[in-house]
Amino acid sequence: MRILQRYRMHVMFRKGLHRKIAVVVLVSSVMLLLFSRHRASYDTGSKRLLYHVLFGETLLPDPNQGLIDYFGEYVQLNISVDSNFASGQLLGWGGFFTSRLTLSNTGSRDIPQSLWQLYGYFMRQVEHEAFPYKDGFYIWSCGLKVFHVDGYLYKFQPVKDLFPGIPSGTLLECLIKVNAFQIAKTDSFPRWYVTGKDLSPRIVANTDDESLAFVSDLTRVEQYKRRPDDKSSPLTLAERYDMYNVPVAKSADINVFPTPFHVEVQTNLRMVFKRDNMKIVNEAAFAQEIKLFAELSEMQVVYAKPTRNYIKITKGPVDVIKEVKKTTHTLGHVANESYILESKPEDNSIHIVTPTSTGLFYAFQTLECILFAPEAGAGLTVEGASISLPKFRVVDAPRFSYRGLHIDVARNFASLDEVLKLVDVMSVYKMNKLHLHLSDDEGWRLEIPGLPELTEIGGNRCHDPPGERCLPPQLGSGPFNDTSGSGFYSVSDYRELLTYALEKHVQVIPEFDMPGHSRAAIKAVHAKAYQQKRRLERNEVYTIVDENDKNSFMSGQHFSDNAMNPCLASTYKFVEKIIGAVQEMHRDIQPLTLFHFGGDEVAKGAWKDSKPCRNLFNRASWFSSAPTQYELMQHFVTRVARIGASRGVSLGAWEDGLIEHTEEKGLPFPRETFQNSEMYSYVWKQPKEVSTPHRAKLFANDDYKVVLSYGSYLYFDHPYEPDPQERGLYWAARSVSTRDAWDLTAHALDADDDEGCPKRVKNKDACYKLLKPQNVIGIQAEVWSEVIRTDGHIESMLFPRLLAVAERAWHTASWEDDDTTNVIKKERDWSIFVSKVGFGELHRLEAFDIQYRVGPPGARLVNGRLLVKTEFPGQEVEYYSERTREWSRVEPNMRVTQPIRLRASSGSGRLKSREVILDPKQTSSSVGIATNSIAHMIILVVVAYKHFVLLNVIV
């Protein structure tokens, strides 16, 4: 009986124990589900670790400076893309790619378990599905925890009991997921760095490299395509050969670039222009312009007309239509920049007629272009150069009054010397608007008297976690303020630029981006030390954000605190301070007529439930709805416009800063809302935008001045080719070639004519017809500098593409007037453009020491013989000899039997393209395309099966 009783008690005990165990297991499972992540395929980590949730995280000991120095010198860092197809999604911005961060210890010491911190950069959100993770994200594969600092900056640090250390001669590999995709090496950034608590940071040495050698090449289809259905692929040599196969146009007796309105030439009558003999006859109305040109060309100014060998200038009106008796494009020409330039062999003279000094300046540029000879090096400036000229007459005026170049110096700074050089080149090509993007989240680049913190903090990036000395590193700037992440223009620098630009007939348009993209300004003016100092000195203390605002938002560049508050009176005191200071800098040199306030990409939810905004709009009650973002944006623009109008300054903004979305289709703010004499809208998104259709025409028809800045044609921070080795972003288009920029015409305004018109537009013609063509005033090329850090980067991304913009902004091609576009005329015109650039303009760029891009060569093998082409005539193709270890010029019909390295070279031999490899076994473009298509098809079938969808695939 006792035995039976004991047995029953034992059974009950076991059942109770089992229940307890079951409860523990159940609770643990629930906690695991709550605090961990299911480790399925591509699941790389967790926001929480159960052990740390239950018992707290024990931090590793701090490292010493010796370890940090050793890490920086001997740890080799590598970044690679595993696959852009990992998420199984098709083309779009969703999903993720898998990437590997590898740390190789190449030195003789072990990297122990200590709390070093590795800082680096990612263009897109790391572990975005877990975002935000203010307490970090555990990476299972390497025992590190990653933190998002802000923007593109991330921090990695070891986790106790997970991080194994990195013994000498071994490596540590972290597998991570990153939002969207990476298809270009330049999406990765240099100058990763390591530090520790209270220690000096050290750059990881092998990442201090603008060639990005520490980033693995993207050679597989899942690396260089965004998704399995991505149609773009790197060009094969054969495809590039065919693309370059443009007939060389016959050389004209005079070549002018950009193409003038009208040219007449009589080749049977000639004169000799010899600089030493020519005199410039002074014209009082243009005395200053003549003096500057004479100094540049080293010619003498005289006050009485000689009998021979002179340049005569006359002030007078020029009507280009009457002069040549032909009509032109409906967008017209700019009369006050017109001129007539002609040669007269009978007395060996040059005659110029123009109504303005600007017209005279452009006439001089045309004369310099005619006289330029590549063999002379720099044309007019070469002593003793003489050129035989036919009798000619050029009648000319620009197509657009606004011929612009935008340079972002906020993300990465460009020196004053570099900007002055670009002004020089702009003026040669008759471009007249320099739009300087002087502030953004990552930097403030102009000294403002009375607000030193804007440049002392906002003009510098460095490692300073409290954020009181500088902005944090971004975009590869590293931990020190000696790279392109730091720098600013002093007042004297800026005035020097204005003075020089005035001489070159270039208007400087300052832009300070607000209310979004304003983190540099916000962090600077809200720095506690500066605010305390201003209070002590009884100076204005600016408050441009509500520091009690707890709104959670994230900008497209991953900042959560970059929007000024439009409902604070102090915000507008700050804006007025900036406009007033800049206006004063311009006043006695180039009076400020246009101030660009940016206005773009304000993050959704930036002012959601803002108490000051509810109060301002009398919606403090919780029963009333908060003001919408577009109501607040219109309020901001109206207030800023009022400040500008009171100072006689017109206002400019990116298109989305001037559009409301109170219905399904966006509509510009009513123009009559703003009292400024002009309001400029820079239309930058795609020509066809579903959410904001017809906006270029709607802006123009409502009397905004419209500057076409389309990303898919004019964003020169995009790559020239769809190749992972090419520098650039690719959100607007996979690539933007010189031909793409040249192809832009007014027909782009009609790209969205198949879209509906916003309901509130009463006159539907305002959507589908350009009723006021005079309001489309020009085009502008853009260079945003996220991945552009050096002068060479700026110049190679701009040139030769900017030449296409100069051509299209100045000249209306004859084929543009034909609605069906005359293909034969167009291709003939392209051939002329390519020949002018290759034989003339690239040599002129080299005379200015411009590091323009040389495109890689195209090549085909025919019966074992090598045929090559370059992007522009006058360039050469070179091959690398494994036998001599030297580069040599490719000879005609050279036989090739083994893989060979090729590159193109500028005519001078100074500039080179990137290298490409020709493999005789894969010479046919059709073979390469077929191979890619088979792989492409297999991947698509797998994805289709996975998602149970039927895909229509065209190969």
Judge contact between 721 and 740, C-beta under 8 A. no
Distance CA 493, CA 131 (A): 42
Exposure b/e, 500-513, CB count within 10 A at least 16 = b = bbeebbbbbbbbbb
Residues in Cβ contact with 232 at an 8 Å cutoff, skipping those fewer than 6 apart: 225, 722, 734, 735
Beta-strand relationship, 96-105 and 75-83: antiparallel
Distance CA 283, CA 360 (A): 11
Q: Give me 860's structure tokens.
A: 């085909």
Q: Give me 637's structure tokens.
A: 């623009």
Largest alpha-carbon pair distance within the chain?
A: 143
Residues in Cβ contact with 475 at an 8 Å cutoff, skipping those fewer than 6 apart: 121, 152, 189, 411, 412, 442, 485, 786, 787, 789
Q: Phi/psi at 919 (nearest 5 deg)?
A: -110, 115
Beta-strand relationship, 171-179 and 153-158: unpaired
Nearest to 495 by CA among 585, 385, 370: 585
Residue 282 falls in which region: left (phi positive, over 0), alpha (psi -120 to 50) or beta: beta
Stretch (H or E) spanning 869 = strand 865-869
Residue 577 falls in which region: left (phi positive, over 0), alpha (psi -120 to 50) or beta: alpha
Q: Give me 151's structure tokens.
A: 């923007």
Stretch (H or E) spanning 495 = helix 491-503
Distance CA 47, CA 393 (A): 74
The stretches of 372-483 forming alpha helices (DSSP H) are 416-428, 453-456
Stretch (H or E) spanning 134 = none
Judge contact between 194 and 182, C-beta under 8 A. no
Of 342, 418, 601, 660, which is the active-site residue? 601
Distance CA 301, CA 294 (A): 7
How far from 203 is each of 159, 195, 199, 702, 950, CA to CA, in Å?
22, 9, 13, 53, 50
SS3 content of the chain, % helix, strand, coil (to 5): 35, 20, 45
816 is catalytic: no
Stretch (H or E) spanning 862 = strand 858-862
Judge contact between 318 and 340, C-beta under 8 A. yes
Q: Give me 212's structure tokens.
A: 């990005």
What single-letter amino acid sits at 377? G
For residue 177, list its beta bridge partners: 98
What is the end-to-end Cα distance of the chain in Å, rounded?
84
Strand order in the sheet with 858-862: 858-862, 865-869, 894-895
Residue written as token pair 């005279």: 360
Name the E strands within 326-469: 339-344, 349-354, 386-396, 402-408, 433-437, 439-440, 443-444
Nearest to 172 by CA among 95, 101, 238: 101
Distance CA 544, CA 573 (A): 9
Judge contact between 142 and 174, C-beta under 8 A. yes
Residues with a known catalytic role = 601
